[in-house]
């Protein structure tokens, strides 16, 4: 098992500037005016970069304590969902991604500026239109399913794509719980349950149930059959999707 290393030893260039914030500003040739460090006791390891766009959270930048590597995460504030992430050992690329995020460049342009940046498939919905938020989450789920590296990736991908192919399910807000596909009549941050659940069995079958995981509505040999059964058991008053209420602090 690897053990944490001295940050100054892993990041001597950052240590020479006194903080990750200062190192990023130097790497960006002064184009990152304000890059606050996360806390005084972790100046070399954490930082964040605010955006000119109000519908973006600050880009979070974290340095690994086990190997020389930085990770980024950029999300949207209403749901707290990730739009872009990625890992690299190139501080200059981190600075390019941070500048593009700060300047409000499109997600595709951030990817072009810093090729290590990984787009999650979700897109930005500044006006919080529930229909667009639903489609954004579906796109994120479809990309995630296609990028999985588990042995049952193909089966899970087939389940997500079969559900998306059903208009009644595609109109609902999708989410997963322990890789069980579920649907909500509200968006995050507060989900509303009540629809059937879909699951991919380890034996190649697909289950449909009214509760969590238990396939009490049937087990099917194909994903489209399971998705069709879920549609038949949707409550008649489940939808259209509305915005989830912000959670109380």
Lowest-confidence pick of 10-14, 118-122, 179-183, 245-249: 245-249
In this structure, the answer to whether residues 101 and 144 fall within a common structural domain is no
- Higher-confidence position of 246 and 170: 170
Whether the pLDDT of residue 152 is over 60: the answer is: yes
In this structure, the answer to whether residues 100 and 27 fall within a common structural domain is yes
- How confident is the model over 78-89, as pLDDT tens digits? 999 999 999 999
Cβ neighbour number for residue 144 with a 10 Å cutoff: 16
In this structure, the answer to whether residues 114 and 134 fall within a common structural domain is no
- How confident is the model over 115-140, as pLDDT tens digits? 999 999 999 999 999 999 999 999 99
Q: Range of 175's domain?
A: 130-232
In this structure, the answer to whether residues 144 and 97 fall within a common structural domain is no
> Is the residue at 237 inside a domain?
no
> Is the residue at 47 inside a domain?
yes
The set of residues, in sequence order, having a beta carbon less than 8 Å from that of 186 and lying 6+ positions away, is 173, 192, 241, 242, 243, 244, 245
In this structure, the answer to whether residues 78 and 167 fall within a common structural domain is no
> Is the residue at 248 inside a domain?
no
In this structure, the answer to whether residues 163 and 224 fall within a common structural domain is yes
In this structure, the answer to whether residues 113 and 51 fall within a common structural domain is yes
- Nearest-Å Rg of the Cα atoms of the chain is 21
The one-character DSSP state at 37 is: B
In this structure, the answer to whether residues 153 and 203 fall within a common structural domain is yes
Of 92, 119, 146, the one marking the end of a domain is 119
In this structure, the answer to whether residues 30 and 108 fall within a common structural domain is yes
In this structure, the answer to whether residues 215 and 154 fall within a common structural domain is yes
């Amino acid at each position: 098992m690897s053990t944490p290393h001295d940050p100054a030893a892993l990041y001597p260039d950052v240590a020479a500037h006194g903080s990750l914030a200062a190192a990023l500003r130097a790497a960006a040739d002064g184009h990152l005016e304000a890059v606050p460090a996360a806390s005084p006791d972790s100046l070399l390891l954490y930082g964040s970069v605010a955006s000119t766009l109000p519908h973006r959270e600050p880009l979070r930048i974290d340095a690994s304590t086990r190997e020389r590597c930085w990770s980024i995460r950029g999300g949207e504030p209403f749901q707290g969902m990730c739009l872009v992430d990625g890992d690299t050992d190139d501080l200059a690329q981190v600075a390019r991604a941070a500048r593009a995020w700060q300047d409000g460049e499109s997600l595709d342009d951030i990817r072009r500026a810093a090729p290590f940046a990984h787009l999650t498939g979700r897109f930005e919905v500044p006006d919080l239109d529930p229909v667009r938020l639903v489609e954004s989450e579906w796109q994120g789920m479809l990309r995630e399913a296609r990028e999985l590296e588990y042995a049952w990736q193909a089966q899970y991908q087939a389940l997500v794509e079969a559900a998306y192919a059903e208009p009644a399910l595609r109109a609902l807000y999708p989410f997963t719980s322990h890789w069980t596909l579920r649907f909500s009549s509200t968006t995050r941050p507060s989900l509303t349950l009540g629809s059937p659940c879909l699951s991919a069995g380890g034996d190649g079958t697909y289950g449909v149930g009214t509760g969590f995981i238990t396939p009490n509505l049937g087990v099917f040999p194909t994903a489209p059959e399971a998705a069709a059964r879920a549609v038949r058991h949707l409550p008649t008053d489940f939808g259209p999707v509305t915005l989830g209420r912000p959670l109380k602090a």
